[in-house]
Amino acid sequence: MSGNPTSPGPEATAAAAASTAPDDNSNKRGRRRRLIGVSTKMYFSASRTEAFTRSVVELLSSPTDTLTLGDDDVDIFIIPDFVTLTSVISIIRSAPEGSVARRIKVGAQDCYSEDFGAYTGEVSPAVLAEVGVEFVELGHAERKRLFAETDGRVGEKVRGVVRNGMVPVICVGEMRKDGGVEGAVGEVVRQVEVVLKGVGEGEEVVLAYEPVWAIGGREPAGEEYVEGVVRGLREWEGVKGRGGRVRVIYGGAAGRGLWERLGGEVDGLFLGRFGHDAGEFVKLIGEVAGGGGEGGE
């Protein structure tokens, strides 16, 4: 991968976000296409996952719903557990043709790096793509903490995902806050450099910036802090120089009002428990689709 992984200084992190190629990273209004999604982690039963998905579909299918999205407004995804993946896909495909609900994409919470073989208990990226999965979340801090997953191992999985035509949602973030913005940028850049090694420059990727110290907290990281880290990440040549679409979304106690406070520096939100209510999730979709951000209407 090209680029210097050295942490940028304060001037670099304070610089404006990198310009993006319109054909790959921007919609027709000149900004990166927004993205919002939710992971249920392992909080839901199978019946609750299906009920949640049906409620979201119903809210986004109602002809009286005030949430109306153009083709270039926002992408939406839901990441359930593995057992309910196919049922969630079926529920979304049953939504009315042309409705916002029909546009929801489904993701998986992890996968193995190889497509097939004697890997008992693992989940093949090829099978995920076959059943209709479009996003795969990789490298979450919980997997690193609980299962000793390394950035190198995450990178192997990223390559398996893109090989099968899906988009990796790569979780990155610093462990501690005391290094400030500059320290956080350096740590995040090192993670991204490793996980994107061997991934084609033209492949689409999503980077989910989640400060580890903010995950599960009552409040997200401060707006200026997040903006500084995201700007520093965008300015790094390993991201700035990629030809494929790169979107940076924020997770870590992300909830109502955060999108507007971030001022469009990020491309969207990655929700956990704050999106586990269908009505709240739809309201957050409305915030990301309709308010704030560069070039928004």
Show which residues are catalytic: 140, 210
Q: Are strands 74-79 and 105-108 parallel, antiparallel or unpaired?
A: parallel
Number of other residues whose CB lies within 10 A of the CB of residue 206: 25
Check if the beta carbon of residue 272 is closer than 8 Å to that of residue 284: no
Helix 278-290, helix 46-61: angle, nearest 10 = 40
Least Cα distance to 171 among 116, 212, 213 occurs for: 212
Beta strands in the chain (DSSP E): 34-39, 74-79, 105-108, 135-138, 167-172, 205-209, 246-250, 268-271
- Confirm if 249 and 270 have CB atoms less than 8 A apart: yes
Q: Are 210 and 159 in contact (CB under 8 A)?
A: no
Would you give the DSSP letter of residue 32? B
Q: Please report, to the nearest 10 degrees, the dihedral formed by the alpha carbons of residues 287, 182, 139, 203 taken in order.
A: 70
